[in-house]
A and B are shown apart, each in its own frame.
Chain A
Amino acid sequence: MTTTQDTTTAVVEIDCGKRWTPVCEYGQLIPGRGVTALVDGEQVAVFRDRAGALYAVGNTDPFSRASVISRGILGSRGDTPVVVSPMYKQAFDLRTGECLDEPETPDGSAARLRVWPVRVIA
């Protein structure tokens, strides 16, 4: 998570583990909504919240296996920033990727989104 100034020309970058990869302009991100970026073959959901903070998590919903997390609604649960999967409405902590509603999917795997380092370069 990185907080930054709102400059439309600034570039959002994601660290895929090998290098920082630019994915879009900061101004392309609608506060409270997400986009999907393809980073090193992986789908990453990138969000900007109302305050301007950025989050990047895996785009695959562990419950439906559909690549839809970026289309979820952003919000808060208490002090926790969350994205709610549009498929079956589970909430995920944007900072940790953890699912706040169910720890496991019905097939027993961990309900957790991968978290990606994200930053803005002016």
Chain B
Amino acid sequence: MVKKNLVLVGHGMVGQRFLEEFLAQPGAARDWRVTVLAEEARHAYDRVRLTSWFSGTSAEELALCGDSFVAEHGIDLRLGDPAVAVDRERRTVTTGSGQLIGYDALVLATGSYPFVPPVPGHDAPGCHVYRTLEDVAAIKEGATTARVGAVVGGGLLGLEAAGALRAMGLETHVVEFAPRLMSLQVDDGGGAALRRKIEELGVVVHTGAGTQAISTGADGRVRAMSLSDGTELAVDLVVFSAGVRPRDQLARECGLVVGERGGITVDERCRTSDPHILAIGECAQAADGRVYGLVAPGYAMAEAAARELTGEPGSFTGGDTSTKLKLLGVDVASFGDAHGSTPGALDVVYTDTRAGVYKKLVIGEDGALLGGVLVGDADAYSVLRPLAVSRRPLPAPPEQLLLPASAAGSSAVGGAALPDEALVCSCHNVSKAAIRAAVTDQGCTSVREVKACTKAGTGCGSCVKLLGGIVEEELAATGVELAPGLCEHFAHTRAELYEIVRVKGIASFSRLIDEHGTGEGCDICKPVVASILASLGNGYVLDGEQAALQDTNDHHLANLQRNGSYSVVPRIPGGEITPDGLITIGEIARDFGLYTKITGGQRIDMFGARVDQLPQIWQRLVDAGFESGHAYGKALRTVKSCVGQTWCRYGVQDSVGLAIELELRYRGLRSPHKLKAAVSGCARECAEAQGKDFGVIATAEGWNLYVGGNGGMTPRHADLLAADLDRETLIRTIDRFLMFYIRTADRLERTAPWLERLEGGLEHLREVVLEDSLGICADLDELMERHVGTYQDEWAATLADPERLRRFVSFVNAPGTPDPTVRFVPERDQIRPARPEEGGGHRVPALVAGPELEVRTR
């Protein structure tokens, strides 16, 4: 397919943002070739923080885009080669260097230029504007020889410029035509508070005064400035910061419709009057008829344009012009309807002239917060602005919101007061709901991760504090303490990986890590993936690549012991075993010189087998009708039982029969952690079913099912999930409980902590498995059917395949040779591993007892 050509004119903040948004759209990189024409000779940089360059922030630190971004996306970026003409008929752009570039879509992001009042002397040496890195570099150089500086314009940038001049040691004046500073953002009261604070810093403020002329000295340089109020200022450096005008000249020249007061006219999808041309940012007059001089609305337009070009929904109908900044150390914020222009709006004002604090809230007739002005203390901005934008009723009486935090006591509002739809980051248009979702759905566990995930807080940064509060609250609510990413290779939790594997039908670790992870994996993620693959019915656990994922226990179908030998546990379902079975196990243990012990799960563990002995031991067991007991796996271990009604005088049901049925049903089921179960034949509970992952206790009517019990280090009594179930319902309920647990639990999370963590707890679990509230029961049932239907004994399967058996040797180049470092000594008529001082392990060569040690019984 032939790629279409996209030409972006302008590589400022909005242009760069457009590139990021556009290239993030599905198919954008595939369908489009992107050319960027930039006037400046450097990559896009952060103009909002331009003033910080004076205090040491380097141009590199201000950069918003590096060579890697350009290279990675194959962007044809032409620095220092601006567009000079557009031929709309032939759809070409002519660049400054004379090149002709064709386009299928043209995006104009030419920004704005500083307005310089046309007063005499405005272009004399010593006069500056404040827009680019070159401008600030020129001001800095000029300041080295200047003594007195004047800034024309008492707005946001003007005050920043004044601060910079003051910091460079100049006597500094600010000349503002309006009757107050920052007239767009703050009201008279706020302006007065701001003025006092700024004058305290040694800056002379002239409001209600226009610049009439700039006179020059004999050397042609700036010498003085005369104001409309008659003041004469002896200045030798002037910075014009009297507002900006949209750079729409290119658009005008090619006949695009522009607004009366400038700005390329665009609709809500940022389309100009030419369907092939879009315009975004400060050069455009938005659909609401306004030309926005702030970065946040520009970003929103960039996003809308990117989505328009790729056919995705998205629009820009008007922006939030709220602002919070620190000007010369003074916090200033204005948001929503700061001037109270809404009919019926009322003010609530708090002023502390001594402390230089001025706060005003604009309240609507219905009591909702409409906007406000904060000067000197703007901490409440991050909470108040979203409230105003969402038009929600105030969480507390307005006077409490205005009082200083100490006076307001505990009533200070945090993120919790915000509604979900409240916009927290207006630079990147991120709502509180999106931030909460990043934590709950996408597993972010830190502000850093949420910032990376949502971009919230990465613009002006004013919302970071609020963001932190919301993330913290959300984390606390979900009970997550650890980073949920499995390990360095997967940012997903086990449950997420399970869903990925299930939904995408992934059958190999390689594919999973290549598509959803990084690196080569490790001892944490590999066994987890092996378990997930096994849970979802991917066959024999040692086949193909799955073999490489298993922990040594699963890989050897036996349990590694401290000296490198293994123990072997055959399944004894329900703990019921025939005398012949007991004898067989006894004979095998005796013949291989194994140590035997009765386990807590009512079976027999045989210790001391070398790797090369394992198949021989299995063969003997399989021949006698035994199979693997999965003592090595994160899988069902045993279903313990009491003897039950059959023999016991008190029993009311056949607990052994049910235990055997359950153990055979769930044998081999791989899960996030081991699973233990029990069935008691009466309420006396001799099988200790309430200390198991699932436990069943017989009643006169049927069976009570308990789940989430645990023994071990953190004992937990199981919860009664359902009572008096018939056998069929009982089994179906356990099926679903187990599959739901396997689907949603974390790595190595037993059912007890899983149930504690489960949102909605036991009641939710009940709804899921008994009432199918999530509509997943059919899936769960099917998965269990598949498990039951495809179960095979892993020992027999291994023995049946010579290729598989080849792995069970001590030495690949000496298959018959036993490992000489596995040594035992006698103790209590059996063997035990030799301790190091007895010659155990590798380093001490003295042989006390070799691998063929024979142990005689009395």
Q: Do A and B come from one complex?
A: yes
- A residues near B (Cβ < 8 Å) are 22-24, 28, 30-33, 35-39, 43, 46, 49-50, 60, 64-68, 71-78, 81-82, 84, 86-87, 89, 91
- Neighbouring A residues of B811 by C-beta, 8 Å: 36-38, 43
- Chain A: minimal CB distance from B632 (Å): 12
**Shortest Cβ distance from B836 into A: residue:** A65
Q: Which A residues lie within 8 Å of B521 (CB)?
A: 32, 73-76
Cα distance A24–B836 in the bound complex, in angstroms: 31
B530 nearest in chain A by CB position: A73
Question: If the complex has contacts A36-B812, A60-B842, A81-B520, are A71 and B806 also in contact, measured as CB distance less than 8 A?
Answer: no
A76 pairs with B560, CB closer than 8 A = no
Q: What 7 pairs across the A-B complex have the smallest Cβ distances? A: A65-B841, A32-B548, A75-B522, A66-B564, A86-B552, A76-B520, A84-B523
A30 to chain B: closest CB distance in Å? 6
Q: Which residue of A lies closest to B842 (CB)?
A: A60
What mask results when residues 549 to 569 of chain B are scored 1 for a CB within 8 Å of chain A, else 0?
101110110001011100000
Most B-side CB within 10 Å, residue of A39, A60, A65, A77: A65
- Determine if B545 is an interface residue (Cβ-Cβ < 8 Å): yes
Please tell me if the beta carbons of A71 and B556 are within 8 angstroms of each other in the complex: yes
CB of B564 to closest CB in A, whole Å: 4
| Cα distance, A66 to B562, chains bound together (Å) | 7
**A90 CB, nearest partner CB in chain B, Å:** 10
Residues in B whose Cβ lies below 8 Å from that of A64: 562-564, 841
Report B506 CB to chain A, min CB distance, Å: 16
Contacts of A71 in B (CB 8 A): 552, 555-556, 560
> Which B residue sits closest to A24, measured CB to CB?
B812
B510 is contacted by which of A38, A50, A78 (Cβ under 8 Å)?
A50
Residues of B within 8 A of A60 (CB): 821, 841-843
CB closest chain-A residue, reference B542? A30
* Known contacts A71-B552, A73-B522, A75-B526; A87/B812 CB under 8 A: no
Residue-wise, chain B 506-526 has the 8 Å CB interface mask toward A (1 for contact) of 000010000000011111011
B523 touches A73 (CB 8 A): yes
In the complex, which residues of chain A have a beta carbon less than 8 angstroms from the beta carbon of B510?
Answer: 50
Contacts A24-B813, A66-B564, A66-B821; A75 near B523 (Cβ below 8 A): yes
Q: For the complex, give the distance between the alpha carbons of A95 and B523 in Å.
A: 18
Residues of B531-586 contacting chain A, CB below 8 A? 545, 547-549, 551-553, 555-556, 560, 562-564
The reply on B810 being an interface residue by CB < 8 A is yes
- Please report the C-alpha to C-alpha distance between residue A39 and residue B813 in the assembled complex, in whole angstroms: 9
Of the residues A22, A35, A87, contact of B560 by C-beta under 8 Å:
A87
Shortest Cβ distance from B525 into A: residue: A75
Q: Closest approach, in angstroms, between the C-beta of B613 and any C-beta of chain A? A: 15
Q: Tell me the smallest distance from the CB of B507 to a CB of chain A, in Å.
A: 16
Q: In the complex, what residues of A have CB within 8 A of residue B841's CB?
A: 60, 64-66
Q: Apart from A33-B548, A36-B810, A72-B552, what 17 extra A-B contacts exist at CB < 8 Å? A: A30-B807, A31-B548, A32-B521, A32-B526, A37-B812, A37-B813, A43-B842, A64-B564, A66-B822, A73-B521, A75-B522, A75-B525, A75-B526, A76-B520, A77-B488, A78-B519, A86-B553
Closest to A88 in B: B562
CA separation between A84 and B560, bound complex, in Å?
14
Closest CB-CB distance, B548 to chain A, in whole Å?
Answer: 3
Among B551, B552, B813, point to the contact of A38 (Cβ < 8 A): B813
For chain B, the bracket of interface size reads 35 or more
The residue of chain A having its C-beta at the shortest distance from the C-beta of B803 within the complex is A28
How many Å from the CB of A101 to the closest CB on chain B? 11
Provide the B40-81 mask, 1 if CB < 8 A to any CB of A, else 0. Answer: 000000000000000000000000000000000000000000
Q: Does B819 contact A (CB under 8 A)?
A: yes
Q: What is the CB-to-nearest-CB distance from B712 to chain A, in angstroms, rounded to a whole number?
A: 20
Q: Residue B681 at the A interface, CB < 8 A?
A: no
Cβ of B489 within 8 Å of any chain A Cβ, yes or no, is: yes
Is the pair B560, A86 in contact by a Cβ cutoff of 8 Å? yes
CA distance A49 to B822 in the complex (A): 27
Minimum CB–CB distance for A48 against chain B, Å: 9
Q: Are B817 and A72 in contact (CB under 8 A)?
A: no
Q: By DSSP majority rule, is chain B's interface helix, strand, loop, or mixed?
A: loop
Q: 1/0 per position for B20-33, CB-CB distance to A under 8 A?
A: 00000000000000
Chain A residues within 8 Å of B806, by CB = 28
Q: Do B519 and A75 touch (CB < 8 A)?
A: yes
Tell me if B778 is interfacial: C-beta within 8 Å of chain A. Answer: no
User: Would you give 5 A-B contacts (Cβ < 8 Å), ordered by A?
Assistant: A38-B811, A38-B813, A64-B563, A66-B821, A73-B548
A68 CB contacts on chain B under 8 angstroms: 552, 560, 564
Contact B840 A65, beta carbon cutoff 8 Å = yes
| Residue on B nearest A107 in the bound complex, by CB | B836
Task: Kindly identify, within residues 786 to 824 of chain B, every residue whose CB is under 8 Å from any CB belonging to chain A.
Answer: 806-807, 810-814, 817, 819, 821-822
A38 contacts B814, C-beta separation under 8 Å: yes
User: Any chain A CB within 8 A of the CB of B527?
Assistant: yes
Residues B523 and A65 in contact, CB atoms below 8 Å apart: no
Knowing A36-B810, A38-B811, say if A73 contacts B526 (CB, 8 Å): yes
A66 and B523 form a contact (CB under 8 A): no
Give the complex CA separation of A106 and B811 in angstroms. Answer: 29
Compute how far the CA of A76 lies from the CA of B821 in the bound complex, rounded to whole angstroms. Answer: 29
Q: State whether B819 touches A89 (Cβ < 8 A).
A: no
With a CB–CB cut-off of 8 A, which chain B residues contact A32? 520-521, 526, 545, 548-549
Q: How far is the CB of B85 from chain A (nearest CB, A)?
A: 50
Choose one: A31, A37, A46, A82; the contact of B522 (CB below 8 Å). Answer: A82
- A89–B520 Cα gap in the complex (Å)? 17
Q: How far is the CA of A102 from the CA of B548 in the complex (A)?
A: 25
- Bound Cα distance from A24 to B459, whole angstroms: 59
User: In chain A, what residue has the closest Cβ to B518?
Assistant: A76
Contact at B522–A50, with CB atoms within 8 Å? no
Residues of B within 8 A of A66 (CB): 562-564, 821-822, 841-842
Is the Cβ of B523 less than 8 Å from the Cβ of A89? Answer: yes
A residues within 8 A CB of B817? Answer: 38
Q: Bound state CA distance, A33 and B817, in angstroms?
A: 21
For A78, the chain B residues whose CB sits under 8 A away are 488, 519
Closest to B806 in A: A28
Taking the closest CB of chain B, its distance from the CB of A86, in whole angstroms, is 4
Contact B819–A76 (Cβ < 8 Å): no
B551: which A residues are within 8 A, CB to CB? Answer: 73, 86
Min distance, Cβ A75 to any Cβ of chain B, angstroms:
3
- The residues of B that contact A22 with a CB separation of less than 8 Å are 813
The CA-CA distance from A43 to B819 in the complex, in Å, is 9
Interchain CA distance A39-B811 in the complex, whole Å: 10
B760 to chain A, nearest CB (A): 35
Question: Measured between alpha carbons, how far is A60 from B510 in the docked complex, in Å?
Answer: 29
Q: How far is the CA of A32 from the CA of B530 in the complex (A)?
A: 13
Cα-based distance from A84 to B510 in the complex (angstroms): 19
Instruction: Give the shortest distance, in Å, between B516 (CB) and chain A (any CB).
Output: 16
**Do B812 and A72 have beta carbons less than 8 Å apart?**
no
CA distance A81 to B520 in the complex (A): 8
Bound complex: CA A78 to CA B548 (Å):
20
With a cutoff of 8 Å between Cβ atoms, the chain A residues found around residue B519 in the complex are: 75-76, 78
List the A side residues contacting B843 at CB < 8 Å.
Answer: 60, 65
Smallest Cβ-Cβ distance to A39: which chain B residue: B813
Chain B contacts with A in 641-691, Cβ cutoff 8 A: none
What B residues does A49 contact at CB under 8 A?
Answer: 520
Once A60-B842, A66-B564, A84-B523 are accepted as A-B contacts, the answer to whether A46 and B812 lie under 8 Å apart by CB is: yes
B522 lies within 8 A of A23 (CB)? no
- Which residue from chain B places its CB closest to the CB of A79 in the assembled complex? B519
B547 in contact with A30 (CB, 8 Å):
yes
Chain A residues with CB under 8 A of B822: 66-67
Do A72 and B522 form a contact, CB below 8 Å, given A67-B564, A67-B821?
A: no
With CB as the reference atom, state the residue of chain B lying closest to A67.
B821
Least Cβ distance of B484 to chain A in Å?
A: 20
Assembled-state Cα–Cα distance A66/B611 (Å): 13
From residue A51, how far is it (CB to closest CB) to chain B in Å? 8
Which of B527, B545, B813 is in CB contact (< 8 Å) with A73? B527
**A65–B545 Cα gap in the complex (Å)?**
29
**Which chain A positions have C-beta within 8 A of B807?**
30
Tell me which residues across on chain A come within 8 A of B489, comparing CB atoms: 75-76
